[in-house]
Amino acid sequence: MQNSPLVSIICLCYNHEKFVVEALNSVVNQSYQNIELIIANDCSSDASKKVIKNWLENHTEIRFISNKSNLGNTKTFNKALQFAKGEYVIDLAADDILLGDCVEKQVNAFLNPKQKNTAIVYGNAEIISEDNLHLRYYYKVDNEKKAVTKPASGDIYLAMLNQSSMICSVSSMIKRDVLEQLYGYDENLAYEDLDLWIRTSRNYNFEFIDAVLVQKRELANSLGNQFYRKFNSQTKKINYSSYLVIKKAIALNKTKNENKALLKRLHFEMAKAYKTFDIWLFLKYIPLEIKLRFF
């Protein structure tokens, strides 16, 4: 590429000693070369820190942040973001892998946008097991590995509210200035992606790249496996975060149609609270439903 803007890749590691080297190698082996890698270890209890330090012996120019206590993903990412100088940012979990032309395709999408005011570009992901075995694709593909049903592009705010489309967060790249305008991730939340999509899509466009860009590893303790556990403290934190995201979205909404769209997501979250016997959370949704219906 003639124009090669700097891309900052923030690799977050927490107990990923088995996978972190593969993740880091996938960054340095990109076809696109103008990359700044920032590694952040969130006080892992396994040998992640030692594995990363050994890898850094051959990559001495790379910044390494090591938390003295466990801060969680949102706080650790924001801490690392302060050092990022790239025009674009990727949040890479240390158990995931960027395919060789991932960054090149993402940057090209930004340099040749299909619409103005694009803040996030994203693509497809291959879901793999702990042992690198293929499980499925995030978006179902045809024989040419093209998405059978294209996810949302352009103004996707309503789609984010009513769950009519999903964003593959692990395959996304965001403009750093937009991320900074939004003050990074909300550190009050147990997870960051839904909140970021809603806040970003309120004022900016998204663009889908119809290609498999990353490999996302599915582990037993992955976030997606935590939503429906009964009487589980982590499940309660995650589902309460969803409540906070919906509460914030109500403040962003401007029309009755947007409130109607958000009601669909609210009912989905109420059902999760009911199925996990989180009655306190279920009851907290009732005033929000009244507000969306009548105000």
Report in angstroms the alpha-carbon separations of 224 from 142, 153, 179, 235, 251.
25, 24, 24, 10, 27
Q: Is residue 178 part of a domain?
A: yes
The CATH number for 14's domain is 3.90.550.10
Predicted pLDDT at 144? 96
Helix (H) or strand (E) holding 165: none
Q: Write the DSSP assignment of 63-106 as a string of letters.
A: EEEE-SS---HHHHHHHHHTT---SEEEEEETT-EE-TTHHHHH
Q: Is residue 50 part of a domain?
A: yes
Instruction: Compute CA 186 distance to the chain's CA centroid, rounded to the nearest angstrom.
Output: 13
Encoded tokens for 134:
């293929």
Q: Is residue 77 part of a domain?
A: yes
Checking if the pLDDT of 220 tops 80, the result is no
Q: Is residue 37 part of a domain?
A: yes
Task: For residues 67 and 49, state if they share a domain.
Answer: yes
Helix (H) or strand (E) holding 119: strand 118-128
Task: For residues 186 and 173, state if they share a domain.
Answer: yes
Task: For residues 237 and 110, state if they share a domain.
Answer: no
Task: For residues 252 and 169, state if they share a domain.
Answer: no
Give the pLDDT band (50/70/90) at residue 2: low
Predicted pLDDT at 3? 81
Provide the domain limits for residue 281: 226-294
pLDDT in tens, 69-87: 999 999 999 999 999 999 9
Average pLDDT over residues 246-266: 97
Task: For residues 111 and 61, state if they share a domain.
Answer: yes
Please give the backbone phi and psi of residue 221, each rounded to the nearest 5 degrees, phi first: -100, 15
Mean pLDDT rounded to a whole number for the chain: 95
- Boundary (domain end) residue, out of 198, 223, 248: 223
- Boundary (domain end) residue, out of 201, 223, 245: 223
Task: For residues 62 and 149, state if they share a domain.
Answer: yes
Contacts of the segment 222-230: beta carbons below 8 A, 24+ positions apart: 223/191, 227/272, 228/272, 228/275, 228/276, 229/276, 230/275, 230/276, 230/277
Give the pLDDT band (50/70/90) at residue 219: confident
Predicted pLDDT at 197? 96
- Boundary (domain end) residue, out of 172, 189, 223: 223
Predicted pLDDT at 68? 97
Q: Do 189 and 77 contact (CB within 8 A), yes or no?
A: no
Q: Is residue 99 part of a domain?
A: yes
Tell me which DSSP letter residue 279 carries: H
Predicted pLDDT at 230? 83
State whether the Cα torsion 29-32-33-35 is positive or negative: negative
Do the strands 7-13 and 88-93 form a parallel or antiparallel pair, or are they unpaired? Answer: parallel
Checking if the pLDDT of 244 tops 70, the result is yes
Give the pLDDT band (50/70/90) at residue 225: low
Tell me which DSSP letter residue 154 carries: B
How many other CB atoms are found less than 10 A from the CB of residue 242?
Answer: 23
Average pLDDT over residues 233-252: 95
Q: Is residue 181 part of a domain?
A: yes
Task: For residues 238 and 212, state if they share a domain.
Answer: no
Task: For residues 197 and 249, state if they share a domain.
Answer: no
Encoded tokens for 98:
């960027």
Q: Is residue 1 part of a domain?
A: no
Q: Is 204 exposed, middle or buried (0-12, 13-18, 19+ CB in 10 A)?
A: buried
Q: Is residue 2 part of a domain?
A: no
Task: For residues 86 and 204, state if they share a domain.
Answer: yes
Task: For residues 40 and 80, state if they share a domain.
Answer: yes
Predicted pLDDT at 203? 97
State whether the Cα torsion 280-283-287-292 is positive or negative: positive
Task: For residues 48 and 150, state if they share a domain.
Answer: yes
Predicted pLDDT at 222? 61
Domain count of the fold of the chain: 2
Count Cα atoms within 13 angstroms, Cβ side, for 295. 9
pLDDT in tens, 163-205: 999 999 999 999 999 999 999 999 999 999 999 999 999 999 9
Checking if the pLDDT of 114 tops 60, the result is yes
Q: 206 in helix, strand or coil?
A: strand
Average pLDDT over residues 232-260: 95
Task: For residues 119 and 133, state if they share a domain.
Answer: yes
